[in-house]
């Protein structure tokens, strides 16, 4: 049997990068995918690729900054597939401006809304049913900036990812007694479109040394396929060569 056969998995930020790869890899293992992002056309392409792998996929266009759209995506998922087994909070953005001096208050607020608040709202929405059922997994895809905040990652991005560390810890404290697990997954530099928002531009050779989307996807499949008795609360990943 496929590792994720019959599991319903929500993936936010599913239209490209890590989210796209996660969706396709989970579909190949038999999962039923709910794909959340703003760009419907891009989501439809990911859904088609997921179905080609043998999985089922539901497209849920939503702006994760809007609570009502998050609730609508969750309602559509439950109506289509039933209970949510795994939530992957992957949606994230960054900006070119990274310093305290250069980052605007508007940029700061947007990064926290997309990177952190959306993860909180999604987690809050799925947690009661997971607790009642006695099982469930929330994977918060953060960054090594949660462990080592730095100017390269940026003040807003680093702050949002440190916030995900707190969200994960409190989710585990609340959820573990009921069989609900949360994992803070902190990858280093990854070869996704967000890397192009850094002030420094990287060559193709440098990008190939970074963590690739398929590396993240394989790790999410691993986490989601572990038995309920096992909780990996923190997973850090970095490129072998930098």
Residue 33 lies in domain:
8-237
Number of domains in the chain: 1
Instruction: Establish if 103 belongs to a structural domain.
Output: yes
> What pLDDT does residue 206 have?
78
Catalytic: which of 108, 122, 157, 185?
157
- Return the number of other C-beta atoms located less than 10 Å from residue 230's C-beta: 8
pLDDT, average across residues 46-63: 96
Instruction: Establish if 3 belongs to a structural domain.
Output: no
> What pLDDT does residue 2 have?
86
Dihedral over alpha carbons 182, 153, 99, 65 (to 10 degrees): -50
Instruction: Establish if 2 belongs to a structural domain.
Output: no
Q: What confidence tens digit (pLDDT) does each residue in 208-230 have?
A: 888 999 999 999 999 999 999 99
Instruction: Establish if 157 belongs to a structural domain.
Output: yes
Instruction: Establish if 222 belongs to a structural domain.
Output: yes
Which CATH number do you get for residue 230?
Answer: 3.40.50.720
> What pLDDT does residue 38 have?
95
- 3-class state of residue 157 by DSSP: helix
Laid out side by side, the sheet with 8-12 consists of: 56-61, 32-37, 8-12, 86-89, 136-141, 180-187, 234-237
Instruction: Establish if 1 belongs to a structural domain.
Output: no
Q: Could you give the maximum distance between any two Cα atoms of the chain, in Å? A: 53
Instruction: Establish if 232 belongs to a structural domain.
Output: yes
Contacts of 221 (CB under 8 A, 6+ apart): 3, 4, 25, 26, 29
Q: What confidence tens digit (pLDDT) does each residue in 97-119 have?
A: 999 999 999 999 999 999 999 99
pLDDT, average across residues 111-140: 98
Instruction: Establish if 242 belongs to a structural domain.
Output: no
202 included as an active-site residue: no
């Amino acid at each position: 049997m496929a590792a994720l056969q019959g599991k319903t998995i929500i993936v936010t930020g599913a239209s490209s990068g890590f989210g796209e790869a996660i969706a396709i890899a989970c579909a190949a293992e038999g999962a039923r995918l709910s794909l959340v992002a703003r760009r419907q056309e891009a989501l439809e392409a990911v859904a088609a690729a997921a179905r080609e792998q043998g999985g089922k996929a539901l497209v849920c266009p939503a702006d994760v900054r809007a609570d009502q759209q998050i609730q609508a995506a969750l309602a559509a998922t439950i109506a289509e597939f039933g209970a949510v087994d795994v939530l992957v909070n992957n949606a994230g953005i960054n900006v070119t401006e990274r310093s305290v001096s250069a980052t605007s208050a508007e940029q700061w607020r947007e990064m926290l809304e997309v990177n952190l608040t959306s993860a909180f709202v999604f987690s809050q929405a799925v947690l009661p049913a997971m607790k009642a059922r006695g099982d469930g997994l929330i994977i918060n895809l953060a960054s090594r900036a949660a462990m080592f905040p730095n100017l390269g990652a940026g003040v807003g991005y680093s702050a949002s990812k440190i916030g995900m560390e707190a969200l994960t810890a409190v989710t585990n404290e609340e959820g573990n007694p009921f069989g609900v697990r949360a994992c803070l997954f902190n990858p280093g530099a990854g070869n996704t479109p967000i890397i192009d928002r850094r002030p420094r531009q990287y060559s193709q050779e440098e990008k190939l040394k970074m963590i690739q989307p398929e590396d993240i996807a394989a790790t999410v499949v691993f986490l989601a396929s572990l038995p309920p008795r096992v909780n990996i609360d923190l997973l850090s990943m970095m490129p072998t060569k930098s």
